């Protein structure tokens, strides 16, 4: 018996209704499961697909000179990133990128084969490289804004400023010494990816707040440049190995210039010998030669002698034990004034024989020799000054005229500046202040007196002696400036042999140190030239560079010539050894 169409239709409708109810029930259950039991997991998955946290490092702080000229800054560059999950062919993509960007293909392939949504491919690429990669239109490869360290003045003060590495971490100079302050802070910053993997947005304000602090130096970019130009010409003219110049304000100890030659461009250090990166004015000791005689003279004055106290100078040759001390010109009786003017080695040795080893040692130590100055630089040497108890008779004589001891350029300019500064030794000052990332002053370094080394009277007498050096028949006449009373001292030191046994007969360090004007010293300048060829006497090598630097610096600083000051225009033929 056949069923009626009406009954069959009713059953079908019932089945459909049952199926619909079952489907609605299943969907409801699934929806409930998703919304209740899997909600957290799925939300996290969605966030991982389109919103991530990335560790971002703030931009590095800047380095300024005393006039807020930028010496080191950061500039915008492009870095290349990837969304590995979006890379269709990791092997091929890695091979192409490795060739274009000079990267390790295997390492890059491993990075691109992951399922991450973000990975660095190359940091701080050149504009040409960025354009080449952009033209390839590779899936999953993107371009992000980044920053790179820039030294806008190229070689200017390179050894002082230093440089950073690939990760913007300081490796040399101030960049290294103050890395903790300059380095931007790191933080997790959220970003979102578009469907094709690009970054939708970064929290820019948060990133800006991570910028590092800035360092303001006491250097003056103009005087630094003038020093470097004069030094370069001097080293090249005399075919020397190298040279250094330090310019200081005697009254405050502020360093306006630390120049080196040869130098380098910190924007491009590839292939350079690491030796050139060193701030040798701080790290490298040298024997100062006859510049030391001003401190020997100061010792005598502190012990009650006067500038006119006389010593017999043995007609140019004097035996100390089995050693012979010579002068470049023979002299009989010389006052302390003339011992300094003519730079008599024998006269200096005779002074020490009279005042005693202990007195000289204590005075040299008080001027800061044999101890670090604690300048804000890495790798500072203390130089060498043996305790006087260990001196032999010839040691005492040699030290009196600057052999048998060693100093750094920073120590020597500080000692000379103490004479200029009425006998007060100042701590050398290189870092003026630290600024926050918003430009607020966080710390100021004020000038600091270390000690009163000698009396004001002694300092005044020694200044007058140093003025005689640049006058007619003095060893430093080539340092005289038109219209200014200059105080200076020459030093031409034989270099110690590398085996430590004796001194070279043809290798010298030429040194000139001085300040001006006599009555109110504004600048002190030290010039050191290592192993000049042909001419080696400092009056012919270092003194002219001193004159150039002082003249150009005075012009720049608008330091007017002194009234009624006669011009010295004489040239001498002799120099000390």
Q: Report, as residue numbers or ranges, the catalytic residues.
A: 290
Q: The tokens of 417 are what?
A: 């500046």
SS3 (DSSP) at 214: strand
Q: Rounded to the nearest 5 degrees, what angle is found at the Cα of 66, between the Cα atoms of 65 and 70?
A: 30
Q: Give the CB-side neighbour count of residue 398, counting CA atoms within 13 A.
A: 21
Residue 394 backbone dihedrals phi, psi, to 5 degrees: -70, -30
Tell me the β-bridge partners of 142. 81
Backbone torsion region of residue 163, taken as left when φ is above 0, otherwise alpha when ψ lies between -120 and 50, otherwise beta: beta
Q: The tokens of 260 are what?
A: 């080196």
Pairing, β 70-82 against β 170-172:
unpaired
Contacts 24+ apart (CB under 8 A), 327-330: 327/576, 327/577, 328/574, 328/575, 328/576, 328/577, 329/574
Peptide bond into 160 cis (omega under 30): no
Q: What is residue 311's DSSP assignment?
A: E
**What is d(CA 154, CA 116) in angstroms, rounded to the nearest whole number?**
40
Peptide bond into 517 cis (omega under 30): yes
- Give per-residue burial for 324-345: e unless 16+ CB within 10 Å, then b: ebebbbebeebbbbbbbbbbbb
**What is d(CA 533, CA 415) in angstroms, rounded to the nearest whole number?**
28
Q: The tokens of 141 are what?
A: 């490869």
Peptide bond into 262 cis (omega under 30): yes
Q: Which residues contact 202 (CB under 8 A, 6 or more apart)?
A: 56, 189, 191
Pairing, β 63-64 against β 214-217:
parallel
**What is d(CA 403, CA 405) in angstroms, rounded to the nearest whole number?**
5
DSSP letter for each residue of 143-174: EEEEEEEE-TTTTTTHHHH-EE-TTS-EEEHH
Cα torsion angle, 420, 423, 429, 433, sign: negative
Q: What is residue 474's DSSP assignment?
A: S
**According to DSSP H, which parts of 214-259 are helical?**
221-237
Q: The tokens of 83 are what?
A: 């969304």
């Amino acid at each position: 018996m056949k069923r009626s169409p009406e009954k069959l239709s009713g059953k079908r409708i019932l089945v459909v209704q049952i199926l619909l109810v079952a489907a609605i029930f299943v969907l409801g259950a699934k929806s409930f499961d998703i919304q209740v039991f899997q909600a957290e997991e799925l939300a996290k998955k969605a966030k991982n697909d389109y919103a991530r946290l990335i560790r971002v490092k703030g931009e590095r702080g800047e380095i300024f000179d005393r006039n807020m000229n930028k010496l080191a800054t950061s500039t915008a560059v492009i870095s290349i990133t990837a969304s590995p999950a979006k890379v269709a062919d990791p092997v091929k993509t890695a091979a192409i990128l490795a060739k274009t960007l000079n990267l390790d293909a295997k390492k890059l392939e491993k990075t691109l084969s992951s399922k991450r949504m973000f990975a660095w491919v190359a940091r701080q690429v050149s504009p040409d490289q960025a354009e080449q990669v952009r033209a390839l239109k590779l899936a999953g490869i993107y371009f992000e804004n980044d920053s790179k360290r820039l030294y806008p003045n190229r070689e200017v003060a390179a050894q002082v400023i230093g440089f950073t590495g690939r990760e913007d971490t300081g490796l040399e100079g101030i960049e290294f010494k103050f890395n903790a302050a300059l380095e931007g802070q790191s933080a997790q910053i959220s970003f979102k990816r578009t469907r094709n993997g690009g970054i939708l947005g970064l929290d820019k304000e948060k990133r800006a707040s991570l910028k590092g602090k800035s360092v303001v130096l006491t250097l003056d970019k103009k005087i630094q440049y003038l020093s470097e130009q004069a030094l370069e010409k001097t080293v090249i003219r005399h075919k020397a190995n190298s040279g250094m110049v330090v310019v200081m304000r005697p009254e405050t100890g502020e360093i306006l210039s630390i120049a080196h030659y040869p130098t380098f461009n910190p924007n491009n250090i590839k292939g350079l010998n690491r030796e050139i990166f060193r701030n040798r004015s701080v790290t490298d000791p040298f024997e100062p030669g006859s510049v030391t005689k001003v401190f020997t003279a100061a010792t005598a004055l502190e012990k009650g002698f006067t500038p006119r106290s006389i010593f017999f100078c043995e007609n140019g040759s004097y035996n100390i034990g089995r050693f012979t001390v010579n002068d470049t010109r023979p002299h009989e009786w010389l006052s302390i004034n003339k011992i300094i003017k003519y730079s008599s080695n024998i006269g200096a040795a005779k002074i020490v024989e009279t005042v005693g080893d202990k007195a000289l040692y204590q005075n040299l130590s008080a001027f800061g020799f044999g101890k670090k100055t604690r300048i804000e630089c890495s790798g500072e040497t203390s130089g060498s000054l043996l305790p006087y108890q260990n001196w032999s008779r010839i040691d005492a004589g040699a030290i009196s005229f600057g052999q048998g001891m060693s100093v750094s350029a920073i120590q020597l300019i500080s000692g000379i500046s103490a004479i200029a500064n009425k006998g007060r030794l100042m701590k050398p000052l290189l870092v003026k202040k630290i600024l926050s990332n918003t430009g607020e002053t966080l710390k100021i370094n004020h000038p600091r007196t270390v000690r009163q080394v000698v009396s004001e009277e002694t300092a005044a007498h020694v200044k007058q002696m140093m003025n005689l050096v640049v006058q007619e028949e003095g060893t430093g006449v080539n340092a005289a400036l038109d219209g200014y009373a200059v105080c200076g001292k020459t030093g031409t030191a034989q270099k110690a042999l590398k085996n430590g046994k004796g001194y070279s007969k043809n290798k010298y360090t030429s040194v000139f140190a001085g300040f001006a004007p006599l009555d109110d010293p504004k600048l002190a300048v030290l010039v050191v030239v290592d192993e000049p060829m042909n001419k080696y006497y400092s009056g012919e090598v270092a003194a002219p560079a001193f004159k150039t630097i002082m003249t150009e610096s005075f012009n720049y600083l608008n330091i007017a010539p002194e009234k009624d000051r006669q011009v010295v225009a004489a040239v001498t033929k002799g120099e000390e050894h």
